[in-house]
Amino acid sequence: QSVLTQPPSVSAAPGQKVTISCSGSSSNIGNNYVSWYQQFPGTAPKLLIYENDNRPSGIPDRFSGSKSGTSATLGITGLQTGDEADYYCGTWDSSLTVVVFGGGTKLTVL
């Protein structure tokens, strides 16, 4: 049972837009920055978004992040088959004093 809640899976057609939600509480998302990671099978995670809505260099602007209250959202536009991966949200939990991750969301591009 993860502290942050993500949908297990989402799907959309190539070229379309998809959003992945991440729900938490005031002790984590509500008062801390959120990051998003992309992970392909058999490889290490890759930082997509940090501090809610910032993209590291090299990450295309098709990827975006937002936060409102105790929830965060990752948006991906212009979906490509190469975007099929697992996506994780993460943040600091001020009560637990640890980093917490969501359970992950598997994106399928139909």
Partner 1 sequence: EVQLVESGGGLVQPGGSLRVSCAASGFTFSTYAMAWVRQAPGKGLEWVSGVTGSGGRTRYAESVKGRFTVSRDNSKSTLHLQMNSLRAEDTAIYYCAKGIGDGKFVESDYWGQGTLVTVSS
What's the min distance (Å) between Cβ of 14 and partner 1? Answer: 26
Residue 73 or 90: which CB sits closer to partner 1?
90
Dihedral sign computed on CA atoms, order 81, 47, 25, 3? positive
75 C-beta neighbours (distance < 10 Å), count: 15
When binding is defined by CB under 8 A, the residue of 14, 15, 51, 95 that contacts partner 1 is: 51
Decide the pairing of beta strands 86-93 and 98-101: antiparallel
Task: Give the count of residues interacting with partner 1 (CB under 8 A).
Answer: 27
What 8-state DSSP symbol labels residue 68?
Answer: E
Q: Tokens 């058999």 correspond to what residue?
A: 42
Residue 10 or 90: which CB sits closer to partner 1?
90
When binding is defined by CB under 8 A, the residue of 18, 37, 73, 79 that contacts partner 1 is: 37
What 8-state DSSP symbol labels residue 26?
Answer: T
Tell me which residues touch partner 1 (CB under 8 A). 2, 32-33, 35, 37, 39, 44-47, 50-51, 56, 86, 88, 90-92, 96-104
